[in-house]
């Protein structure tokens, strides 16, 4: 099976709340992780990435946390807005390996006004 998966297929939050999207991966050799956002009718768009030598990285309103011990990745979105409604994918890559991104199944985030 695929090495990257998600705990929840859907997530519904209220506008202004914080959102947390989780991802589990099984390949302990993976050393690069990316979160993508896909809005309806569009291609996936890069949000934030993190390498395995880090456990946290922050962007604008988003934070990615990496726990290598339990092979878990999460995306935190602060003050979620209706425009954040989309499907979110985590993806992993093994540098120096096949050099291909393996995508998880995706979590659909719905932000209620």
Partner 1 sequence: DTAVSQTPKYLVTQMGNDKSIKCEQNLGHDTMYWYKQDSKKFLKIMFSYNNKELIINETVPNRFSPKSPDKAHLNLHINSLELGDSAVYFCASSQRGLDEKLFFGSGTQLSVL
CA distance 68 to 107: 21
**Encoding tokens for residue 104?**
């998880």
Q: Cβ(93)–Cβ(32) under 8 Å?
A: yes
Exactly one of 53, 60, 69, 98 binds partner 1 (CB under 8 A); which one? 98
The mark string for 19-48 relative to partner 1 (x by CB under 8 A, - otherwise) is: -------------x-x---x--xxxxxx--
Residue 77 or 106: the one with the smaller Cβ distance to partner 1 is 106
Q: How far is the CB of 16 from partner 1 (least distance, A)?
A: 26
Please give the size of the binding site for partner 1, defined by CB under 8 A: 23
Closest CA to 73 of 32, 27, 22: 22
Q: Is 89 in the site for partner 1 (CB under 8 A)?
A: yes
**Encoding tokens for residue 69?**
């011990």
Neighbour count for residue 9 (Cβ, 10 Å): 10
The residues that touch partner 1, with contacts defined as CB under 8 A, are: 32, 34, 38, 41-46, 49, 87, 89, 93, 95, 98-103, 105-106, 108
């Amino acid at each position: 099976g695929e090495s990257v998966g998600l705990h929840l297929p859907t997530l519904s939050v209220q506008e202004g709340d914080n959102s947390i999207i989780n991802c589990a991966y099984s390949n302990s050799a993976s050393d690069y992780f990316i979160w993508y956002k896909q809005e309806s009718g569009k291609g996936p768009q890069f949000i934030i990435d993190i390498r395995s030598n880090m456990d946290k990285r922050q962007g604008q309103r988003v934070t990615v946390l990496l726990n290598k011990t339990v092979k878990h990745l999460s995306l935190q979105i602060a003050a979620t807005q209706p425009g954040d409604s989309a499907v979110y994918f985590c993806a992993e890559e093994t540098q120096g390996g096949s050099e291909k991104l393996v995508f998880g199944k995706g979590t659909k985030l719905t932000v209620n006004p």
